[in-house]
Amino acid sequence: MMLKVNGREHQVDADPDTPLLYVLRDDLGLNAAKFGCGLGQCGACTVIVDGNAVLSCVTPLLLLEGRQVTTLEGLGSIEAPAPIQRAFMEEQAAQCGYCIAGMMMRAQALLQKNPKPTDDDIRAELEPHLCRCGTHMRILRAVHRAAHLMQTADASTVQRSAR
Amino acid sequence: MNAPVILDRRRVLAGGGALIVSFALSDGFAQDQSAPTAPALKPPGSLATAPYLDSWIRIDADGNVTAFTGKAELGQGFKTAFQQIAAEELDVPFAALKVVTADTRLTANEGYTSGSHSMQDSGTAIQNAAAQVRELLIAEAARRLDLGPENLRTENGAVIASDGRRLPYGDLVAGDMLHVQAQPKSKLKDPATFKVMGQPIPRVDIPAKVTGGAAYVQDMRLPGMVHARIVRPPSYSAQLTDCDTGGIEKMPGVVKVLRDGNFLAVVANREFQAIKAMQALSAAAKWKETASLPKQDDLFRILTNLPSQDKTIFEQRNPSVLGQKTIEATYTRPYQSHGSIGPSCAVAQFADGTMTVWTHTQGVYPDRQGIAEMLRMPASNVRCIHVEGSGCYGHNGADDAAADAALIARALPGTPVRVQWMREQEHGWEPFGPAMVTKLKASLDDSGTIADWNFEVWSNTHSMRPGGAGSMLAAQHMAKPFAVPEAKPIPLPEGGGDRNAIPIYKFPNAHVVHHFIPDMPLRISAMRALGAYHNVFSIESFMDELAVAAGADAIEFRLKHLDDPRGRDVIARAAEGFGWRKGQKAPRDRGYGFAFARYKNLAAYCAIASEVEVNSETGRPRLVRAVAAVDSGQVVNPDGLINQIEGAIMQSMSWTLYESVTFDDTRITSIDWQTYPILRFDSVPDSVVVHVINRPGKPFLGSGETGQGPAAASIANAIANATGKRLRDLPLTRRKIKQAIDA
């Protein structure tokens, strides 16, 4: 079937019951979505599908026909990081970092829907995610910073277009 | 069982064969040769065991500088810190340097990355080696320019003469110039002149981790790589009685099904094919299980009744001081999981007689030894390369996964094999942090001072790490199995079960006993802080119990018994940062707690004040805020240090409030995040503040584990302060707190 990931169409030859996680990692060679539990309990595999955070380890390929999948790679790069990526770098919001990509994708989905989340909003949204190194405080700060960076970016876009 | 390894060392010693071509082996050769005539005064850190400067620093003709460490980056961020140290002492721009981490072909043998030793051992070695390399470069420039060294300085990767002439390092280094043994003393820079050390330089590994770069062993994709899955026995002593693999071999993509005794694995071209085949293989496997686990409800009675080796590890007597008021208490800690978010993974390839294993082990050399022994190969034909994995916090499944991958790769010569453990395998088979029991008894004199102190701890060892094959599951499960090695206590002053069992406080009478239990009913090994987590939890909880009995403020009471000035400083800093006031009452349903320790009584100092709220209806505790102070000696990267302490507080809070491995009479039953719950965002504090006390020029102390014990006790003390009830049986769950409130 055809699978749209990070804006590009891919012909994927995998069984329809294959969880999206394995298609992203094995067929498309993407690193960000991580295997953590395969049970939807930890959030390490989170990606965005049509604007919503989705646990890719328990989402079979057959549900994704015609949908838009976005992974962390689709947001930005080391050279041109997206606001959420800049924010996590600036806050040094990682220790081992294994859980971080999943956290960032859910935070990104939140910020796309709610550009000015409260601290409680962010905590509630990240509830499905586990971090074992104990980087929680930095992760929260990074999401706040990302919200700020996105607004600043939006504001400068508005300013530019107004001129 | 060590025969192949010894043979290999002899061959190296004899200089036989083509083995001495690589750097690591020539280094090993040099170490073995130099040992008998080693000077009495050894160079510092790991230079003592790997004294050649080019084991640590190399400079190529283009001026590229590489620092080498035998330690493994586990997410602590020391790769960045080492780069700072080397850049500082060498006068090379930070970004121009590269750091190569643990690899048996490239780096010195620094044993395990454990015990908060990386900065002390490897950081110190790199600092001194870099300083000595800089001196050699200056000496070489002096010779070439015919100038005295006093007319030369270093800057930006070059030696610069007072007349302006500039010799880049790449031009100065020739031949074996850096292949010289380190001197015992180095001309280290004055900390007041540091430009790179002491700065919060952003971590070098984070950009790739937040943009989807290949950052972990899980992300490795070698050409032609296949995917393997293990089918582990359902319980420790289960025996495979029957397994019809015929149907599984015909499943789509399946390359091979392996059976070697109780070791069962399947290999497929694609990852999800391997998972489906693993499920089918698991269903086909018939096991005979034996009920061999202790009764969990009665665990602590069973543990303390097991045969033990009892040793008085500390004794202090002053018969003139007598206690008036005696209290006693027993504290317990269950088995706890490392609980890595990413289950263990390894890639191995057997090609041209050499086994290469990419692994997130904490010890590439011991891992190599274990794998070589298991495969009955010379260790020189096994190469272990560290690649980051998910955070491990001690001995998790990393070494086992490496052995799994090697065993499977040997059956598929030439083909790279990636083994990925499943969630239930990591939870069910990782070696847990050992259960422990402590019994404390102390008396106060009539001035409210501790007159005598008795502390007894019962514990297994805290390290069953490899070295030998018998520590690895694959080797234990083979048809010709390797026996699990006999457990040994870790000697003091570092200690294992008795780590931090000796109080840092001064008591006129004190008696500390370590009951070492050799039998291990559950598979256990090293978990962050080892015995210090429970011992500090016990000592610092009991200090509060005694303070209450003496009617004293918790901090005043500690200071009354503490001479160590650096200890007193961290206590004062944490108290000040928290706003601690003597006799201050917390708001309703809240409590304040305090705790302090110096890790191992020889590493970093850490004090933590905390505020906890307890829902009196449900018993649910939540850490509201924590303020820590840490003294880790000379600080290299303050933000990295803060990150470690923040993480220690959060992780220790999770262990302390929620975590316990569960089991029935046969199987481990905590096998995922439902059955082994840990901290989630709804319980994250409002704030965590870490104050760093820098000690310029003082030795690095290592800080990765110093927060675990104080965080636990600080939270327990705050719960006691909030509820008026003392809980001593970890974890301090909502249910136990509720029961205590209602009692």
Percent of chain B at pLDDT > 70 equals: 95
User: Percentage of residues in chain A with pLDDT exceeding 70?
Assistant: 94
Q: Cβ contact (<8 Å) for A35 and B211?
A: no
For chain B, the C-alpha Rg in angstroms (whole number) is 27
Q: How many CB atoms lie within 10 A of CB B180?
A: 14
Q: What is the pLDDT of residue B395?
A: 97
SS3 state of residue B19: helix
Strand order in the sheet with B621-631: B590-598, B605-614, B621-631, B687-693
Residue that is written with structure tokens 């707690």 in the block = B593
| pLDDT interval class at B702 (50, 70, 90) | confident
* Chain A environment of B208 (Cβ under 8 Å): 78
B675 touches chain A (CB under 8 A): no
Residue A157: pLDDT above 90? no
Are B646 and A132 within 8 A, CB to CB? Answer: no
> Which residues of A fall within a CB distance of 8 Å from B684?
123, 136-137, 140
Distance to chain B for A46, nearest Cα, Å: 13
Nearest alpha carbon to residue B158 among B93, B228, B213, B105: B93
Q: How far is B480 from chain A (nearest CA, A)?
A: 32
> Is there a contact between B257 and B249 (Cβ–Cβ < 8 Å)?
yes
Phi, psi of B67 (to 5 degrees): -105, 140
pLDDT class of B174 with cuts at 50, 70, 90: confident
Segment 53-92 of chain A within 8 Å of chain B by CB = 71-73, 76-78, 81, 85, 88-89, 92
pLDDT, one tens digit per residue, over B220-261 is 999 999 999 999 999 999 999 999 999 999 999 999 999 999
pLDDT score of B19: 26
Mark B421-449 as b/e (b = at least 16 C-beta within 10 Å): bbbbbbbbbbbbbbbbbbbbbbbbbeebb
Count A/B contacts: CB-CB distance under 8 Å: 182
Which sign does the torsion angle of CA B380, B386, B389, B392 carry? positive
Tens-digit pLDDT profile for residues A3-49: 999 999 999 999 999 999 999 999 999 999 999 999 999 999 999 99
Measured between alpha carbons, how far is B287 from B485 in angstroms, rounded to an integer? 25
Instruction: Say yes or no for a CB contact (<8 Å) between B210 and A97.
Output: yes
A105, closest residue in chain B (CA to CA): B210
Q: What pLDDT is attached to residue A159?
A: 53
Task: Find the mean pLDDT for residues A66-72.
Answer: 97
Neighbours of B687 (CB within 10 A): 11
Mutate to test the interface with A, among B269, B341, B627 (most CBs of A within 10 A): B341
Q: Is the pLDDT of residue B632 over 50?
A: yes
Backbone angles phi, psi at B700, to 5 degrees: -65, 135
pLDDT of residue A153: 76
Is residue B14 very low, low, confident or very high in pLDDT (cuts 50, 70, 90)?
very low
Beta-ladder partners of B611: B592, B625
Encoding tokens for residue B666?
A: 């046969």
Sheet containing strand B152-155, strands side by side: B152-155, B158-161, B166-168
Average pLDDT over residues B613-628: 97
Q: What is the pLDDT of residue A155?
A: 66
- Residue B45's Cβ-side half-sphere holds a number of Cα atoms within 13 Å equal to 30
* The pLDDT of residue B10: 31
pTM, to two decimals:
0.94
CA distance B171 to chain A (A): 32
What SS3 class is residue A3? strand
A129 touches chain B (CB under 8 A): yes
Residue B252: closest C-alpha in chain A:
A15
Confidence band, pLDDT 50/70/90 cuts, at residue B34:
very low
pLDDT tens-place string over residues B571-610:
999 999 999 999 899 999 999 999 999 999 999 999 999 9
CB contact under 8 A, A98 and B391: yes
Domain ranges of chain B: 39-190, 217-290+338-429, 436-462+497-742
pLDDT in tens, B492-546: 999 999 999 999 999 999 999 999 999 999 999 999 999 999 999 999 999 999 9
Chain B residues 268-307 with CB within 8 Å of chain A: 270-272, 275
Q: How far apart are CA A4 and CA A43, in angstroms?
A: 22
Residues of chain A contacting residue B343, judged by C-beta atoms under 8 Å apart: 35-37
- Which pLDDT score, from 0 to 100, does residue A160 have? 52
Which CATH entry fits the domain spanning B436-462+497-742: 3.40.50.920, 3.40.920.10, 3.50.50.60, 3.30.365.10? Answer: 3.30.365.10
The nearest CA of chain A is from the CA of B136 a distance in Å of 36
pLDDT higher than threshold 50 for residue B101: yes
Closest-CA residue of chain B to A73: B212
Contact B248, B254 (CB under 8 A): yes
Confidence of residue B175 (pLDDT cuts 50, 70, 90): confident
* Residues on chain A touching B679 (C-beta within 8 angstroms): 130, 134, 136
Q: Quote the pLDDT of residue B9.
A: 31
Instruction: Give pLDDT tens digits for A44-68.
Output: 999 999 999 999 999 999 999 999 9
User: Number of structural domains, chain A?
Assistant: 1
Domain that holds residue A35: 2-162
Asked which of A9-18, B30-39, B260-269, B327-336 is least confident by mean pLDDT, the reply is B30-39
Residues 338 through 357 of chain B touching chain A, CB cutoff 8 Å: 339-343
**Nearest residue, CB atoms, B213 vs list A18, A29, A78:** A78
Contact B681 A123 (CB under 8 A): yes
Classify strands B166-168 and B158-161 as parallel, antiparallel or unpaired: antiparallel
Which pair of structure tokens corresponds to residue B691? Answer: 């104050």
Burial class (CB within 10 angstroms; exposed 0-12, middle 13-18, buried 19+) of B122: buried
Which chain B residues are closer than 8 Å to A131 by Cβ? Answer: 341, 650
pLDDT at B36: 46
Which of the listed CATH numbers 3.30.1120.10, 2.60.260.20, 3.30.365.10, 3.30.530.20 matches domain B217-290+338-429? 3.30.365.10
pLDDT in tens, B390-412: 999 999 999 999 999 999 999 99
ipTM: 0.96
Query: Chain A: residue nearest B342 by CA?
Result: A36
By CB neighbour count within 10 A (0-12 exposed, 13-18 middle, 19+ buried), where does A82 fall?
Answer: buried
Residues of B in contact with A41 (CB under 8 A): 423, 672-674
- Judge if the upstream peptide bond of residue B731 is cis by omega within 30 degrees of 0: yes
CB contact under 8 Å between B393 and A97, yes or no, is: no
| Reported CATH class of domain B39-190 | alpha beta
Query: Would you state the structure tokens that stand for residue B47, as one six-digit string?
Result: 């230079």
Residue of B nearest to A27 (CA): B270
For chain B, give the mean pLDDT. 94
Check for a shared fold between B39-190 and B217-290+338-429: yes
Q: What is the CATH number of the domain that holds A82?
A: 3.10.20.30
pLDDT above 90: percentage of residues in chain A: 92
Q: How many CB atoms lie within 10 A of CB B312?
A: 10
Residues of A in contact with B221 (CB under 8 A): 29
Average pLDDT, chain A: 95
Asked if B352 contacts B459 with a C-beta cutoff of 8 angstroms, the reply is no
Inter-chain residue contact B341 with A131, CB threshold 8 Å: yes
State whether residue B680 sits within 8 Å of chain A by CB: yes
Report the alpha-carbon distance of residue B149 to residue B126 in Å, rounded: 23
